[in-house]
Amino acid sequence: MAPVEEVRVCRFCGHIDPAQHTGKCESCGSFTGFVICSHQEAETLRRERQRSRGRRGLQYALLGLVLLAGMTAWIMYVIFDQGIDPPPATTRMSASVEPHTWAQVRRTPQNSGFTSDTAPYPQRIAWTYRTDKRLLASPAVVENHVYLTTEDGRTVALDRQTGQPVWAYPNGGPSSSTPAVAGNHLIVAMRTGRVVALERHTGERLWQADFEKSILASPVVVDGTVYLGVGDWRLYALDAATGQQRWALATNDWVVSAVAYADNRIIVSSQKSRIQVVDTDSGRERFLYDTGLGRHIVASVAIQGDRAYFGSRYGRVWAIDWRTNRYPMERALLLWKTNLFAWGLLAKPPVHKGTVWSKPVEGDVTHTAAIAHQTIYVTTSLGAVVALDAATGAQRWMTKLDHDLTSAPVIAGDAVLIGTRAGIVIGLHAHTGAVLWRFRTEGEISASPIVTGDTMYVASHDGVLYAVTSLE
């Protein structure tokens, strides 16, 4: 019987060498895992390894295809906006920005807080409307009616000329947000988490939406959609005609201030340090701006052109390009650059994408900025009103007032209107910062005074809405 020929087989790849061969495998380079066996057994082992390599290659190829398909789908969804969009709004109704009208909070969807109507020199109280509890929100004024939400659980429509009630709707809870008027709809949000649409001439309820968490933000109505932040850390888009949800977006914290709108983008700030720019059609985030640790943003963003303006704690005012888009890995790269700077490996700190300018001011900025005359107007926690050039951030003037400033600034013509904890509305000259006049109430003013036509409306913690005019 002929002796059995023995060979050396690599158990990793199945390569066959003569039994007396030494050193690494000529095929895979392994130094270990060799078996001495018959040539027949070696052939069997080689075929098993080849089949095994084939199966692994197929598995790797399938895995690569799955990853490629997933990456392609993600890129199409995030960058090229090819995801499935929610249903569109059923109407195009928006809050009016016609002259002598203040149809929603901050007047314009850009949150400018500006009207070309001239603020009256406050010499005469035309009328007052008194409630049982403090007033926390500015009214809305459209055509012949003034619409007001109250802490005693009502929404009231008042005659614009006399202040007499036209109708009252029982909210079922208090509200600290300004109602929004769009078409014949009056949109009202309550702290209890309820949102209602009322027929603005009669007060009849048209629809109602209920949320599980509180609502502090004022609704903003643009192109048939109501945009509203809720205490469940979400921004909601509701159909203005029906109240049905179009989409919802998770935010970084509770949204307590109104969103800003421009060119099919919503800009929302939550209670921490992030600004989100959101597509209004899809509800998808397009850009995220982070002001950094501790620099929390507690008020709305205001928009002019392609710039968004806002203030933060630790005394800073920001201008960013809100049209910027976010691309994959950008935030991770920014984080690494920030760490490298902290470790002393970069000479300069990285600049967040979208930054136009960032300027320090004295004191926290906790109220929404106003925009007019190519100027950004902000108030600070140290009692200062600061005017900054919108293009560069350069300071144009600063006026220190001996008061705690408790309302966001509003611009009426060439006057900056500020509410104070002492119950005084102060009018400043928009171009110089000089004090023009003062108007006193008996309670703190946390709601911004507004001006429509020749009348200034002031909601005070003394429970009174004042309609104030000049003597002329």
- Shared domain for 316 and 403, answered yes or no, is yes
- Shared domain for 401 and 283, answered yes or no, is yes
Please give the pLDDT value at position 392: 98
Would residue 152 count as lying in a domain?
yes
What distance in Å separates the CA atoms of residue 148 and residue 188, rounded to the nearest whole number?
A: 10
CATH number of the CATH domain containing 455: 2.130.10.10
Q: Which own/partner contact pairs does 305-309 have at CB distance under 8 Å and 24+ positions apart?
A: 307/356, 307/390, 308/260, 308/267, 308/275, 309/369, 309/371, 309/376, 309/390
- Kindly write down the DSSP assignment for every residue of 212-280, as one continuous string: SS---SPPEEETTEEEEEETTTEEEEEETTT--EEEEEE-SS---S--EEETTEEEEE-SSSEEEEEET
- Shared domain for 71 and 194, answered yes or no, is no
Place of tokens 């469940």: 232
Q: Which two tokens stand for residue 381?
A: 């926690």
pTM of the predicted protein model: 0.83
Q: Which residues contact 367 (CB under 8 A, 6 or more apart)?
A: 299, 311, 378, 379, 405, 407, 408, 409
**Residue 132 CB neighbours (<10 A):** 10
Would residue 195 count as lying in a domain?
yes
- Shared domain for 244 and 131, answered yes or no, is yes
CA distances from 283 to 36, 112, 286, 308, 392 (A): 66, 23, 9, 19, 32
Q: pLDDT tens across 327-357, in order?
A: 666 665 666 556 666 676 676 666 688 999 9
CA distances from 114 to 181, 238, 272, 275, 397 (A): 17, 26, 27, 22, 19
Q: What is the pLDDT along the chain (472 residues), one digit of tens a residue?
A: 456 667 777 766 767 767 667 777 777 767 666 677 776 676 777 677 767 777 777 777 887 787 776 666 555 555 555 568 899 999 999 999 999 999 999 999 999 999 999 999 999 999 999 999 999 999 999 999 999 999 999 999 999 999 999 999 999 899 999 999 999 999 999 999 999 999 999 999 999 999 989 999 999 999 999 999 999 999 999 999 999 999 999 998 899 999 999 999 999 998 888 999 999 999 999 999 999 878 899 999 999 999 999 999 999 999 999 999 866 666 656 665 566 666 766 766 666 889 999 999 999 999 999 999 999 999 999 999 999 999 999 999 999 999 999 999 999 999 999 999 999 999 999 999 999 999 999 999 999 999 999 999 999 999 999 999 998 7
- Shared domain for 292 and 368, answered yes or no, is yes
Which of 78, 93, 126 terminates a domain? The answer is 78
Please give the pLDDT value at position 411: 98
What distance in Å separates the CA atoms of residue 380 and residue 386, rounded to the nearest whole number?
A: 8
Would residue 272 count as lying in a domain?
yes
Q: How many domains does the chain have?
A: 2
- Shared domain for 317 and 405, answered yes or no, is yes
Taking Cα atoms as reference points, which of 200, 254, 219, 218 lies closest to residue 136? Answer: 218
Q: Which two tokens stand for residue 264?
A: 């099919």
- Shared domain for 215 and 311, answered yes or no, is yes
Q: Which residues contact 21 (CB under 8 A, 6 or more apart)?
A: 8
Would residue 142 count as lying in a domain?
yes
Domain with 61, as residue range(s), is 6-78
**H or E element, residue 339:** helix 330-342
CA 215 to chain centre: 15
Please give the pLDDT value at position 66: 77
- Shared domain for 73 and 127, answered yes or no, is no
Would residue 54 count as lying in a domain?
yes
Would residue 108 count as lying in a domain?
no
Would residue 385 count as lying in a domain?
yes
Taking Cα atoms as reference points, which of 204, 303, 197 lies closest to residue 259? Answer: 303
- Shared domain for 12 and 67, answered yes or no, is yes
- Shared domain for 71 and 119, answered yes or no, is no
Strands in 370-372's sheet, in edge-to-edge order, are: 370-372, 375-379, 384-389, 395-400
Which of 78, 105, 135 terminates a domain? The answer is 78
Query: Given 3-state DSSP classes, what are the helix, strand and coil percentages for the chain, each rounded to the nearest 5?
Result: 10, 40, 50
- Shared domain for 134 and 39, answered yes or no, is no
Please give the pLDDT value at position 137: 97
- Shared domain for 307 and 406, answered yes or no, is yes
CA distances from 362 to 134, 140, 313, 359 (A): 30, 32, 10, 10
DSSP character for 88?
P
What distance in Å separates the CA atoms of residue 118 and residue 455, rounded to the nearest whole number?
A: 9
What distance in Å separates the CA atoms of residue 319 and residue 316, rounded to the nearest whole number?
A: 10
Which of 29, 63, 78 terminates a domain? The answer is 78
Would residue 98 count as lying in a domain?
no
